[in-house]
Structures are given as structure tokens and as C-alpha cells.
Structure 1
Amino acid sequence: MRKMSVASAPGKTILFGEHSVVYDEPAIAGAVNKRASVKIQESLNNYSTLKSYDLGFEVILNTRRGTYKLVKGKPGIIRYILNAMGKFHDHSNIDMTLGLNLPIGSGLGSSAAVTVATIAALHDYHGVPITKEKLAEEAHGVEQDVQGIASPLDTLVSTNGGLVYLSREKRIVRFDKPLDAPFVIGFTNKYGNTGKMVKHVRHLKDNYPELINPVISTMGKIANEARIAILKNDIDRIADLMNLNQGLLDGLGVNTYELSRMIYTARENGALASKITGSGGGGSIISLCKNSTVDNVANAINKEDSTIKVKFSGEGVLVNRRSPPFN
């Protein structure tokens, strides 16, 4: 029987703290019930392969050089996998399969989910014990290498799961109870580019610090107010804070026509609040709804764009060993 390891990790949605979290402000995010999965098998050939039936691509890998030869499709997320393999693989020949039911570039943390699952599967394949804290740190390092600058929030949430508050000191505090409200994620076919958007905000901050620093600080204060509101399950206050947060994101220039269209469509069809989730520039919005309006919101957005209804998930990274390598 061929040696094999399988790992999976969830995507995430950010409720509060996009962009400001890069500058050590607090944030609130949650793992969702959509995941990336990575299967690694010992190869019967004298080369390594990577394929994804979900994304429709197949490549032959050169893990030593960090390059690949395209067999078919467009492997848009492969840079994260190659970077992880360069750091954590011994370059033995393997066959890797990637499963993904998260839209790429939509602000739902697809790159973090893929990175966390890849590293977890590699460590398991090589029998390397690792803590979740270390896994999140390693995955963040990969995202930084690929994007140039990256928030640790995505990889922290993907590794640990649950609805979490990330403090200024990068300490994760899990909420004991799930947020009792339905959400609709809307996304367009215009993908966002996290690295580009983070660099855009950095440019504004460097050139207009007296204007942008207070905006970033206020976003942090909103996240702290939201933490209290979530603990009280004060849905109306959470909605107000989400809409306030969206105004600041708009001011940072990370909104687009398509995102704005979805935001106002959601609000006009019964959403209590709607805002960008993720880095913007394309990608996704998140809408807080009532049980009675969640279908109306989803149907309205679906006329021009796409939606998924998500639930927050308490499960983080999962590995298929009887004795998990986490402690």
C-alpha cells in the first residue's frame, strides 16, 4: 500500500478588521463550513504531480526548483503550494490532489485554507509532530512570501476553527457560543488580489499618515465594540458596527462597483447589514440577515452575482491520523 496523508482546513470570513489587522489592530473572524483538502501519496513515477478536479488543472512539479510543467488547466493557487513544499518537503516523488469548495480570490481565505492543509499534510506525511500554533505561524510565513505582506488572521482561523477575536497581541480568544444569526456571502466573478489591496492601503498610510492612521485605529475600536456586542448577542448593534466598518473600507478605496452593488442589493432586500469581507478589490461581501430575509437576500444577489449561505464552523485543521500530530 502506498504511503498516504490527507489534511483539510476551513476557509474563513472576516466580520471586522480587514486591513486594520495588518497594523496590529484587533479583528473578528470565523471559520466557515467550506474547506480545502490535500491528499499526498507516494508516487509510482520518478516525478511529482499535483492535480485538482475541482479547479480543473494538472501539473508536473519540480519541488527543488519550485517550478511546474502545465499538463492542463490554470493552477492559479499553485504558488502557495510550491512555497510550502520548498520549505517542508524532502523532495521525494509524490502525487498530490487538491480539493476546494471555496471560490478563489473571493475573500474567503482560500489561499490560507490551501496553505494550512498543504503544510499539515506534508508534516503528517513525513511524520513531523507540530502544534497548531506552529502550523499557523508556518502557514502565515508562506502567505507572506507569496503576497509580500499578509495578515496572520486567515491562517490562525483556518488552523484553529471557530469564531474568534484576535487581540492586538495576536492572541486568539474563541467565543464560547456561536453567533445566532444567518449570513449570506455574495461574490462576483471579479477576483480580488489580496497582495495588491494590502499594498494599496500601505501606500495610502505611508503617504497620508495623519488621515489614514485614525481610520485604521477606528476600525480597531469597531472590532472591540463588536466583541462586546457578540458576547451579548446584540444583533442590532453588530449590524450597526458592520455598516460603519463598511464606510471606512470604502474610504480606504478597496471597494468596487460590483461589491457596492451587492452591498446595497442586500440591504434593500432585508439584510440588517452588509459589508466587504476580505481585502476587497473584488471578491466577497458578507450580509447579516434575519431568518425571514436570508432567502430574499440570497435570491436578489443571485440575479447578477453568486452567493453561498455559510455557517460558522468550530472545526479547524483536520488530519487523518489515529494519533494526530497536534498537541
Structure 2
Amino acid sequence: MKIKVTAPGSLMLMGEHAVLFGHRALACAVDKRISVTLTTRTDRLVNIDSALAQYRGSLDALTAEPALSFVLTAIERQLPRLTQGFDLRIRSEFSHTVGLGSSAAVTAAAVAALQALISGADRDYDPQSLFEEALAVVHQVQDGRGSGTDLVAAVYGGVVGYTVARAGAVPQVHRLQGIPAISLFYVGYKMKTPDVLKRVEGFAAQSPELYASLYQLMGQTTEQAEQAVDSADWPQLGRLMNIYQGLMDALGVNDAYLAEIIYSLRSSPDVLGAKISGSGLGDCVLALGHPAQLPLSYKRSYEGADEQYYEQIPVAVSAKGVTVEYV
């Protein structure tokens, strides 16, 4: 049996940081995908072929490989139901160094492939079941951390409104109607999300009531943005993106280079709004619209060049989430 699963990369449209405190978040799937092809074996060996690492082991004695921790944890959680080994071939259309939710995409794809192997070709995968198991994998790898927002977008596709489940409740997921036109720019570096969160936690400890109010405002802004996407009111979404960026700045996760991209983009008549996408202090800036000119980096010019552009990551919102095919 051979099973091919694909899962899209994802972006945070809005809700960064505040989603961890029970507020609404918006995320979208993008048209860059990760594929996981599972081919069954007649023995109990597990082979994984990935750009990050090569792995060979047995279902009877899995060993650790940090570069493949999400995939191996997904396998480990299914061990009681796995009766035969398999080969996994993992390929990606985007780099894991850029914030397109590669960990979420590969986790969703690996879990879907394993579920398809166990349940067989006669049963379609259930998005809610897939999301819940993939989130359990992420939490196991990350010691309980992770909102699951990027996973929701990878599983369901399109633009998704999401609130983290609290105290055993079911997570609130709403797949929206609108498909915004977006542009994405990579600043050239990024701080790891856990490190950004620790930094913000330090700021919040000094002014807890103020930061609680900031998260509340972020949640209210995201709720209005959800309505704007659902009704395809793009000027309103752009205004709300700019407001949310101001709140991100207040949290302390903006920097000079990110701000340079943001204000350069906002100066374009083709851009309705621009903000950080993700936890901040590096990574990407998201624009609503397609600027005729790329944002320039004058401060980071290199020898022999008059000007330098930040890297544009060619992406578009994709309506397609996880796909499963028996080949």
C-alpha cells in the first residue's frame, strides 16, 4: 500500500500572542505544501527520507532524532495500532527556516498518513480527529506549548478563525468565506518563538494589567477582522491589520528592520495594510495586496550595490487543506 498525503504551509493573519490567552486568532493555508508518502513494508522497519535527516529504525525500538521529532512522536503515539513497518518520504516546497508553519504541516501530514494506514482506504479522514491528534503530538514534543493555530489552517485550508480549547472544551473553528490577496516578505533572520514568548512574559510580569488589556484589544481587533474576511471587506481588514501591528509594537516584538518593511509597504497604493506575521522580532511581514515595488532595505546595503531588497516569499492563500490519496 502507498499513501500520499499533502499539507499546506500556513501564516498567522492575526491573533499572535493573544491566542495563547484565549482570544481569537486568524490563520490561513498557503499554496506551498509538504508531502508525506508512506509505503508499507512486510517487516517492522521504519525508514524516513527527509531533507532534515535520514532515519532507520524499528517499530520495536524507535530511537530519538531531534530533526524528526514531530514525525517520530506521531509514530510513537500510534505504535499499539501499527502492525507493519513502512517507508516515509518527506518533501517540502518551502524552507523550514521561513515562518510558513513547516512543523505544523509535516505533523498534520504524518498523522494523516498514519491514520489512513490504520483505518484503510474505505474511510475518509476526519478533520477534527486529525487536528486533535496532531495537536497532541505538538504538545508532547513542545512540553505543552503551542496554540495549534497553524495546525488548524493546515488541516482545514483557506482562512480559519480559531480559539484554543480551554478546560476540556472543544476548540472553536470557523472556516471563513473570503480569500485575501497577500504578499509576504522575509526580513532575513528570526528569533525562535519560545524565546520571543519568554521575552514578552518578562515584559508582562512588570505590567500585568496593562498587558492583559493589550491582549483584550488584540482579541477584539481579531474578531472584527474575522467579520471583514468573511464579508470580503478588504479595506477594513487592512485597517485592522495596521491596528494590530500597533499592538504588536506595544508588546515589544517589533524592531527597526521589520518596521522599515512595514512602512515601506504601507506607502504603496496597492497595499491596504501590513503587519508582522508570527511572534515577531524577525521572520516575516505580511501585506494585504501586491505592491508594485518591493520594500527597500537601505541600511543593510551590501558592497557594490546601490540598494537591496528584502526577500519576497511568493505565496497565496490556498483553499485546500490536507489531502489524502491512495496510490
Normalising by the residue count of structure 2, what TM-score does the alignment of the two structures yield?
Answer: 0.83
Corresponding residue for residue 291 of structure 2: 294
Corresponding residue for residue 106 of structure 1: 98
Please give the alpha-carbon distance, in whole angstroms, between the structure 2 residues aligned to 1:232 and 1:124: 36
Match runs of 1:235-246 below 5 Å: 235-246=234-245
CA RMSD of aligned residues (A): 2.8
In the alignment, is the contact (CA less than 8 A) between 1:269 and 1:300 conserved in 2? Answer: no
Which of residues 2, 6, 22 is equivalent to 1:4?
A: 2
Greater Cα offset, 207-216 or 166-175: 166-175
Query: Are residues 99 and 28 of structure 1, via their aligned partners in 2, closer, same or farther at CA, if it must alter by over 3 Å?
Result: same
Query: Are residues 133 and 117 of structure 1, via their aligned partners in 2, closer, same or farther at CA, if it must alter by over 3 Å?
Result: same
In the alignment, is the contact (CA less than 8 A) between 2:2 and 2:326 conserved in 1? Answer: no
In the alignment, is the contact (CA less than 8 A) between 1:245 and 1:275 conserved in 2? Answer: yes
Which of residues 65, 75, 84 is equivalent to 2:74?
A: 84
Amino acid at match of 1:198: L
Corresponding residue for residue 172 of structure 1: 173
Query: Are residues 166 and 306 of structure 1, via their aligned partners in 2, closer, same or farther at CA, if it must alter by over 3 Å?
Result: same
Do structure 1's residue 143 and structure 2's residue 138 form an aligned pair?
A: yes
Query: Are residues 178 and 43 of structure 1, via their aligned partners in 2, closer, same or farther at CA, if it must alter by over 3 Å?
Result: same
Post-superposition offset of 1:67: 1.3
Post-superposition offset of 1:265: 3.1
Please give the alpha-carbon distance, in whole angstroms, between the structure 1 residues aligned to 2:183 and 2:44: 46
Query: Are residues 44 and 285 of structure 1, via their aligned partners in 2, closer, same or farther at CA, if it must alter by over 3 Å?
Result: farther
Match runs of 1:210-225 below 5 Å: 210-225=209-224
Corresponding residue for residue 152 of structure 1: 148
Do structure 1's residue 134 and structure 2's residue 139 form an aligned pair?
A: no
Please give the alpha-carbon distance, in whole angstroms, between the structure 2 residues aligned to 1:222 and 1:7: 35
User: What are the ranges of 5 or more consecutive residues in structure 2 without an aligned counterpart?
Assistant: 166-170, 299-306
Post-superposition offset of 1:218: 0.5
Match runs of 1:45-84 below 5 Å: 47-52=45-50, 55=51, 57-61=53-57, 64-68=61-65, 76=67, 78-84=68-74
Greater Cα offset, 135-144 or 58-67: 58-67
Do structure 1's residue 161 and structure 2's residue 157 form an aligned pair?
A: yes
Match runs of 1:236-275 below 5 Å: 236-270=235-269, 271-275=271-275
Query: Are residues 266 and 177 of structure 1, via their aligned partners in 2, closer, same or farther at CA, if it must alter by over 3 Å?
Result: closer
Paired residue total: 306
> Does the residue aligned with 1:244 lie in a helix, a strand or coil?
helix
Post-superposition offset of 1:207: 4.8
Amino acid at match of 2:21: Y
Post-superposition offset of 1:59: 3.0
Do structure 1's residue 277 and structure 2's residue 282 form an aligned pair?
A: no
Post-superposition offset of 1:98: 0.8
Show CA shifts across 1:11-64 (max 9, x none).
Answer: 111211011111110112211111111111234787422222xx3642334664
Identity %: 28
Show CA shifts across 1:234-287 (max 9, x none).
Answer: 322211211111121122222344433332332244433211112223321111
Post-superposition offset of 1:299: 8.2
Please give the alpha-carbon distance, in whole angstroms, between the structure 2 residues aligned to 1:254 and 1:62: 43
Please give the alpha-carbon distance, in whole angstroms, between the structure 2 residues aligned to 1:245 and 1:43: 50
Corresponding residue for residue 325 of structure 1: none
Do structure 1's residue 311 and structure 2's residue 307 form an aligned pair?
A: no
User: What are the ranges of 5 or more consecutive residues in structure 1 without an aligned counterpart?
Assistant: 69-74, 323-327
In the alignment, is the contact (CA less than 8 A) between 1:160 and 1:317 conserved in 2? Answer: yes
Normalising by the residue count of structure 1, what TM-score does the alignment of the two structures yield?
Answer: 0.83
Please give the alpha-carbon distance, in whole angstroms, between the structure 2 residues aligned to 1:85 and 1:299: 45
Please give the alpha-carbon distance, in whole angstroms, between the structure 2 residues aligned to 1:313 and 1:203: 36
Please give the alpha-carbon distance, in whole angstroms, between the structure 2 residues aligned to 1:9 and 1:264: 33
Please give the alpha-carbon distance, in whole angstroms, between the structure 2 residues aligned to 1:67 and 1:167: 32
